[in-house]
Amino acid sequence: MELLNFILIFAAGWLVLRRPERERLAFGLLVASSLLMAALFLIGARGSILPGLNY
Amino acid sequence: MNRNTLYTILTAAVLALLIGPIGVAVFVLGFVHGDSPCVLCWAQRTAMVLVALTGLLIVRYGPRPRYIGMGVLISAFGVYMGLRHSSLHFARDVGQGFSAEILGAHTYTWSLFIFWVCLVMMGAMLLAVKDGEAAGEGPRELRPPGRAALWLFLLAVAANMVQAFASTGPPPFMGQGDPVRFSFNPRNWVWSTEEWRPSPVSLRGRWAIEKPDVALAPADPAGSPLAGVPAMTVSRRAKLALPLNGPVTDLAYDAASDRFLLTTHNGVYLTDGTLGRVIRHTVVDVGYSVDLARFSAAAFLDSRTVLAMAENKSYVVLRESDQADAAANYRYFLESPGAFQEASRSRLTTVRAKMMYVMAAAFDPAASALYTVTVPNAASKRLVVSRFDRRDMTLAEEFSPALAEGGPLAFKDGAGSLDGFYPTAAEFHEGRLYVLSAAYSTLLVIDPVRRTVADARVVPGLSKPSGIAIKGGELLIVTEDGALSWAH
């Protein structure tokens, strides 16, 4: 899944560099990648969503 | 700040992010040293790349509010990720951590700092933007530094794609909790879907420990894991008739002064040798400084010094005084600020008992040692005796007692456990630690030298016992509601 995320990011970067008129798509890819990144982290941290500290 | 200055600073920041944490992580730590990110590290690294992409969007299209908003959101989530990830290792001994370290700090702790710097930089740049300037423009023609930053960005992302493919594989495979070291050799690649497996979702994880409750302990001795435990004889029963401010939480006795010590959830009471009259008392402000929560244990440290301990192993040491400055003591006490001087208020730290509360404590004056005994909880079922040195109140020893070999005790099924006992009271007497368990209404006699349970007795007719004391060869038991029993 991390590979998929970097593919999305690469595509966004490529659009910014080579197809700057596709700004909306590049930004959409940024948002999608951010959501995927957060989801992957929360999947990995679901055993304790809050930091594992003495509350 | 004019636009060109803003773009120059942003380009420099993106380059720093790419050459620094992102580049070092993938090229140096990954490709050179074989370090592989865990599933949480991958998300943190991805977030850094996304922050860099946000900066490049601004460089290309101008400071549109949605770019700034995304940058702040990703960085804020990055701070959370850094704290959440680092918290797995914050409390370890010095130098211990997970995987590689940079400049003496492990990689996941650096991310906390990096995302915080990103937030600070964004705030500083927003301060420098004039009213109405936070708006976009058509795609700008990139200057050489901006173009270089974008090419470098693509190179760094491509390198991460290579590492992600080797370390985590294509979807649906994803990062692992304990990844193997990176290799370009496919024979060494491990692709896993372990993180997709169903597992409990929790807010606080292992730290969600329920508070102790004596009412949860099964009092019936028939449920005890020990076989044939003889019963004590209760010679007398009575009821406390003292003006206490709540249920009794512990009892201790000092033979030298022939006085008893009683505690309630926040009260400390010294009584005469008959438990008929309160000689001196105070009510501690348990919310001042150290959180003393609810007193559950008490002990005489000497004839004029007492200790009251909370379930969370925080404690206060009080010294009797007739010259106490009531005005100065306002901060410590809710009642009778002139009756005691507070000598110390602090916390005991344990290792084996770390995730368990205590309801029993006893003091051995000969060895100047304080003992605590744990109560089990849903996550940790273990009887742990902790010994602390009185001089520095630091842990000196911890053990889980076993049955004494060749002793009078045996488990019913031959291989039972003492972990179901629920100690709510303790007393040290003549080299033995006497521990009363509300579960199975059983008194355990622990030999602290051999770390064994040398003997045990059932105490009939007990309900919610909270304290014990030994006076004149008799065991005195008090319950939460003030019922007294003398047993031998």
Closest CA relative to residue B303, chosen from B335, B279, B332: B279
Share of chain B above pLDDT 90, in %: 84
| pLDDT above 70: residue B486 | yes
Q: List C-alpha distances in Å: B198 to A35, A47, B116, B202.
A: 21, 11, 33, 13
CB B366 within 8 A of CB B346: no
Closest CA relative to residue B472, chosen from B231, B236, B269: B236
Inter-chain residue contact B87 with A52, CB threshold 8 Å: yes
CB B307 within 8 A of CB B314: no
Q: B151 in contact with A at a CB cutoff of 8 Å?
A: yes
Residues of B in contact with A21 (CB under 8 A): 139
CB B96 within 8 A of CB B48: no
Amino acid making up residue B108: Y
ipTM over 0.95: yes
Residues of A in contact with B73 (CB under 8 A): 34
The minimal CB distance from A47 to the residues B90, B158, B202 is found for B202
Residues near B144 by beta carbon (within 8 Å), at least 6 away in sequence: none
The predicted structure's pLDDT at residue B73: 97
Q: What is the mean pLDDT of residues B68-77?
A: 96
Rounded distance between C-alpha atoms, residue B193 and residue B184, angstroms: 21
Residues near B323 by beta carbon (within 8 Å), at least 6 away in sequence: none
Residue range B411-441, pLDDT digits in tens: 998 778 999 999 999 999 999 999 999 999 9
Residues near B63 by beta carbon (within 8 Å), at least 6 away in sequence: B6, B129, B133, B134, B135, B136
Amino acid making up residue B49: V
Q: How far is A40 from chain B (nearest CA, A)?
A: 7
Residues of B in contact with A5 (CB under 8 A): 46, 164
Residue range B141-153, pLDDT digits in tens: 889 999 999 999 9
- pLDDT category of residue B94 using cuts at 50, 70 and 90: confident
Residues of A in contact with B147 (CB under 8 A): 17
The predicted structure's pLDDT at residue B131: 77
The predicted structure's pLDDT at residue B1: 67
Q: Which residue in B has a C-alpha nearest to residue A38's C-alpha?
A: B43
Which DSSP string corresponds to B176-239? -SSPPPP-SSGGG-----GGGS-----SSGGG--PPP-GGGS---GGG-SBSSPPBPPEEEEEE
Rounded distance between C-alpha atoms, residue B288 and residue B296, angstroms: 18
Share of chain B above pLDDT 70, in %: 99
Q: With a CB-CB cutoff of 8 Å, which residues 119-138 of chain B face chain A?
A: none
Q: List C-alpha distances in Å: B230 to B332, B455, B456, B457.
A: 45, 10, 8, 5
Residue range B446-469, pLDDT digits in tens: 999 999 999 999 999 999 999 999
What backbone phi and psi angles, to 5 degrees, belong to A34?
-65, -45
> Could you tell me whether strands B358-364 and B369-374 are parallel, antiparallel, or unpaired per DSSP bridges?
antiparallel
Q: B170 in contact with A at a CB cutoff of 8 Å?
A: yes
Q: Which two tokens stand for residue B200?
A: 């409990």
| pLDDT above 80: residue B398 | yes
Inter-chain residue contact A3 with B207, CB threshold 8 Å: no
- pLDDT category of residue B136 using cuts at 50, 70 and 90: low
CB B219 within 8 A of CB B422: no
Q: A30 in contact with B at a CB cutoff of 8 Å?
A: yes
| Torsion sign (Cα): B295, B314, B381, B402 | negative
Inter-chain residue contact A49 with B38, CB threshold 8 Å: no
Instruction: Scan for tokens 């349970």, then name that residue.
Output: B453
The minimal CB distance from B168 to the residues A2, A13, A41 is found for A2
Amino acid making up residue B286: V
Q: Which residue in A has a C-alpha nearest to residue B163's C-alpha?
A: A3
Q: Which residue in B has a C-alpha nearest to residue A6's C-alpha?
A: B161
| Inter-chain Cβ pairs, chain A and chain B, closer than 8 A | 160
Q: How far is A10 from chain B (nearest CA, A)?
A: 6
Residue range B97-132, pLDDT digits in tens: 887 788 888 888 899 999 999 999 999 888 887 777
| pLDDT above 80: residue B135 | no
The DSSP secondary-structure symbol of B421 reads -
- Sheet harboring B432-437: ordered strands across? B402-403, B452-458, B442-447, B432-437, B423-429
The minimal CB distance from A13 to the residues B42, B150, B195 is found for B150
Inter-chain residue contact B38 with A27, CB threshold 8 Å: no
Q: Which residue in A has a C-alpha nearest to residue B171's C-alpha?
A: A1
| pLDDT above 80: residue B133 | no
Q: B174 in contact with A at a CB cutoff of 8 Å?
A: yes
Residues of A in contact with B158 (CB under 8 A): 10
Rounded distance between C-alpha atoms, residue B50 and residue B58, angstroms: 13
Rounded distance between C-alpha atoms, residue B13 and residue B279, angstroms: 70
Q: Which residue in A has a C-alpha nearest to residue B58's C-alpha?
A: A16
The predicted structure's pLDDT at residue B91: 80
Measured distance between the N- and C-terminal CA atoms of chain B, rounded to whole angstroms: 86
The minimal CB distance from A6 to the residues B73, B74, B157 is found for B157
- For an interface test with A, which of B36, B42, B190, B350 has the most A Cβ atoms less than 10 Å from its Cβ? B42
Residue range B289-326, pLDDT digits in tens: 999 999 999 999 999 999 999 999 999 999 999 989 99
Residue range B218-271, pLDDT digits in tens: 999 999 999 989 999 999 999 999 999 999 999 999 999 999 999 999 999 999
The minimal CB distance from A6 to the residues B74, B164, B172 is found for B164
Inter-chain residue contact A50 with B44, CB threshold 8 Å: no
Q: A33 in contact with B at a CB cutoff of 8 Å?
A: yes
**Mean of per-residue pLDDT scores for chain A:** 95
* A1 against A53, higher pLDDT: A1
- pLDDT category of residue B92 using cuts at 50, 70 and 90: confident
Inter-chain residue contact B168 with A41, CB threshold 8 Å: no
Q: Which residue in A has a C-alpha nearest to residue B83's C-alpha?
A: A51
Amino acid making up residue A8: L
Closest CA relative to residue B181, chosen from B171, B195, B167: B167
Q: With a CB-CB cutoff of 8 Å, which residues 237-296 of chain B face chain A?
A: none
Q: List C-alpha distances in Å: B284 to B292, B294, B478.
A: 9, 10, 21
Rounded distance between C-alpha atoms, residue B314 and residue B291, angstroms: 7
Residue range B329-355, pLDDT digits in tens: 999 999 999 999 999 999 999 999 999
Element (H, E) at B372: strand B369-374
**Mean of per-residue pLDDT scores for chain B:** 94
Inter-chain residue contact B150 with A26, CB threshold 8 Å: no
